[in-house]
């Protein structure tokens, strides 16, 4: 997969409060912050004590896909990658999440920003030879992609909804 880190727009404390209370209709510039560096993001969803891990990355706008289903963020299902799981464990074990919010459906969303260039390089290299098993893409092409390993995907019968304002790409035409 042709993945790379990206500059993200994340919710501020006021933005997280709006996600928690579902008052996202009055979203403004005080509710977001652009991250200064390009990064990958580990994303953990927790519902009823079940955790699912995802990797959020950038990929080419013209990426070939196998299946198209409307969705908020592109999702790619890939074979289990022990290297990625090791990197998740190492990063999550040593750093606090940059965003942590529980929405009105009682789903907790946590994002860890990967700021170490060496780790970002390792992720890019580890995922380069991986062929996606299945993809769910929005009908509008977007360079933001969310990767889920096959074992992680099976944890929820129905994938929890992701708040629209949780994360976005700062410069979508990188």
CA–CA distance from 96 to each of 47, 91, 115, 130 (Å)? Answer: 20, 9, 12, 29
Question: How far from chain centre, in Å, is Cα 7?
Answer: 12
**∠ CA(40), CA(42), CA(43), 5° rounding?**
130
Query: From first to last of its 174 residues, what are the pLDDT tens digits of the chain?
Result: 889 999 999 999 999 999 999 876 788 889 999 999 999 999 999 999 999 999 999 987 766 555 555 455 678 888 888 888 887 777 777 889 999 999 999 999 999 999 889 989 989 998 999 888 777 665 566 788 888 888 888 898 888 888 989 999 997 554
pTM of this structure: 0.88
The upper half-sphere exposure of residue 120, i.e. CA atoms within 13 Å in the direction of its Cβ, equals 19
For residue 119, give both structure tokens: 């780790």
């Amino acid at each position: 997969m042709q993945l790379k880190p990206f500059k993200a727009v994340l919710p501020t404390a006021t933005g997280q409060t709006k996600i928690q209370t579902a008052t996202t209709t009055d979203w403004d510039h005080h509710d977001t912050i652009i991250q200064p560096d390009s990064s990958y993001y580990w994303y953990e969803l927790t519902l009823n004590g079940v955790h699912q891990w995802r990797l959020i990355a950038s990929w080419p706008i013209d990426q070939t896909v196998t299946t198209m289903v409307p969705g908020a963020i592109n999702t790619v299902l890939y074979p289990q990658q022990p290297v990625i799981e090791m990197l998740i464990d190492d990063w999550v074990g040593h750093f606090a999440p940059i965003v942590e919010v529980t929405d009105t459906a009682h789903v907790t969303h946590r994002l860890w920003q990967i700021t170490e260039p060496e780790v970002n390089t390792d992720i890019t290299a580890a995922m380069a030879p991986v062929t996606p098993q299945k993809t769910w893409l929005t009908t509008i092409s977007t360079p933001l992609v969310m990767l889920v390993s096959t074992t992680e995907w099976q944890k929820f019968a129905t994938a929890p909804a992701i708040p629209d304002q949780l994360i976005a790409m700062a410069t979508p035409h990188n």
